[in-house]
Chain A
């Protein structure tokens, strides 16, 4: 279990380095997919299985897919991956930065210092965040509706901004 968490966290850091080292959006999107996937794994390991499921569905399966399609529309003939020197330099720089940060701040590096959602040792179906989920739908109903309103408002805002043919803001420019 500890070994799995270690591998997942290593994947998280490497994916972060992969995204931050400025490759072409194709490859950066792959880095994002890796980060989201292993991040969900870390969440499951610390007890947030519902959160992990929602993250996978909405973030990976909704937003990242849309982003991948947009990146595909902005195709370039010679995409820059991690084999080109500028990107590799940035990768090296970020790995050094991670090592420095570990040296300076790495007191609570070990897993027993992590406080997860619960203290169940094992991957069961019902973990610590299930209580929070039920609260979200019962006592937190008003806040849920408020959150829904914000999302609907965002939709209206984006629709208004991207109306075509001069009635919106972006096409007129």
Chain B
């Protein structure tokens, strides 16, 4: 891709999210989201393979549907309340439709089925942008919706934790595992949104940091499958030692940072007298922990069969520096 087009697309990604963050009018928020969707399409097809084109098409369909639903919800809000202000969504039809539209945008269950297939067709860098940056703008809108009852958010959150954990259970492709991990974490974030929005932001920021690190470590060792992950331990030994910490942090084990949002969310749920929800969320996160543990087992804790030359890659000069490839 020519540098001019590439920089136009990256700048438009930035403009889109900034526009949604800075907006109080629904049109402007929708415009920012559309800019994000459009700008990432060529980035996704960069590898010019049929799989990438298929992933891009699926992504475009899912995002276009969600954007159209968002626009419809905003227009019906203007019809009922006479205001285009984002903070004036009082009508049940409006905030339900908006919640569902944004849930489809970020990949919450039961609207999550596009996420693993789309992530599988992308390079790791584009998958990283999709998992982190593209979630910011819809999340900003979810944060500002003020529903009258927490039921929808809790249902979406719990379903996403279940779907993210159970769905990722049998995966061997790392990008699909990362997609399911994203679904589960977004479920935790949305679960607590009606009770304590700052906790949602804590969960989101820790998720961003952890998933960025994990994507990056996979990028550095250039692994996309558990098979290649298991023979990549000799490439960058320091990374081999540190990646289990990232994985266990994603799984939510103390004393790592990933435990903090889960702990506080469970505490807030019990304070709201929702102990059963808290127990279910914690139990279904065990599924996610299982596949994070499987990844650290494959990478660090065991040495799968390989010829002796497989112990030597660390002796070679790295093929690229650690800045983004």
Query: Interface of A with B (CB < 8 Å)?
Result: 143, 146-147, 149-150, 153-154, 156-157, 159-161, 166-170, 172-173
A126 to B48, CA, bound (A): 52
Q: B53's contact among A150, A156, A169, by CB below 8 Å, is which? A: A169
Of the A-B pairs whose beta carbons lie under 8 Å apart in the complex, a sample of 19, sorted by A's number, is A143-B28, A147-B31, A149-B12, A149-B15, A150-B38, A153-B12, A153-B38, A156-B5, A156-B8, A156-B42, A157-B39, A161-B42, A169-B42, A169-B53, A169-B56, A172-B48, A172-B49, A172-B53, A173-B50
Residues from chain B with Cβ under 8 Å of A161 in the complex = 41-42, 45
A147, closest chain B residue (CB): B31
Residues from chain B with Cβ under 8 Å of A170 in the complex = 53
A152, closest chain B residue (CB): B8
Q: B31's contact among A150, A156, A160, by CB below 8 Å, is which? A: A150
User: For the complex, is B323 an interface residue (Cβ under 8 Å from A)?
Assistant: no
| Shortest beta-carbon distance from B63 to chain A in Å | 13
**Do A168 and B48 have beta carbons less than 8 Å apart?**
yes
Q: B38's contact among A143, A157, A173, by CB below 8 Å, is which? A: A157
Q: A147-B31, A160-B5 are in contact. Are A166 and B38 (CB under 8 A)?
A: no
State which residues 42-65 of B face A: CB under 8 Å: 42, 45, 48-50, 52-53, 56
Interface size class of B (residues with CB under 8 A): 20 to 34
**Do B42 and A153 have beta carbons less than 8 Å apart?**
no
| Shortest beta-carbon distance from A143 to chain B in Å | 7
**Do A156 and B9 have beta carbons less than 8 Å apart?**
yes
Interface centre among A154, A157, A161 (most CB of B within 10 A): A157
B25, closest chain A residue (CB): A143
A173 to B34, CA, bound (A): 26
User: For the complex, is B172 an interface residue (Cβ under 8 Å from A)?
Assistant: no
Interface centre among B1, B38, B42 (most CB of A within 10 A): B42
| Shortest beta-carbon distance from B39 to chain A in Å | 6
Q: B39's contact among A153, A168, A173, by CB below 8 Å, is which? A: A153
A159, closest chain B residue (CB): B5
A169 to B28, CA, bound (A): 30
**Do B28 and A166 have beta carbons less than 8 Å apart?**
no
| Shortest beta-carbon distance from B216 to chain A in Å | 26
Q: B19's contact among A146, A160, A168, A173, by CB below 8 Å, is which? A: A146
Residues from chain A with Cβ under 8 Å of B35 in the complex = 149-150, 153
**Do B39 and A169 have beta carbons less than 8 Å apart?**
no
Q: A157's contact among B28, B41, B48, by CB below 8 Å, is which? A: B41
| Shortest beta-carbon distance from B217 to chain A in Å | 29
Residues from chain A with Cβ under 8 Å of B39 in the complex = 153, 157
Residues from chain A with Cβ under 8 Å of B19 in the complex = 146
State which residues 240-288 of B face A: CB under 8 Å: none
Residues from chain A with Cβ under 8 Å of B52 in the complex = 169
| Shortest beta-carbon distance from B19 to chain A in Å | 7
| Shortest beta-carbon distance from B267 to chain A in Å | 43
Residues from chain B with Cβ under 8 Å of A146 in the complex = 19, 28, 31
A166 to B46, CA, bound (A): 11
B11, closest chain A residue (CB): A153
List 16 additional contacts besides A150-B34, A153-B9; criterion CB under 8 Å.
Answer: A143-B27, A146-B28, A147-B31, A149-B12, A153-B38, A156-B8, A157-B38, A159-B5, A161-B41, A161-B42, A168-B45, A168-B48, A169-B45, A169-B52, A169-B53, A173-B53
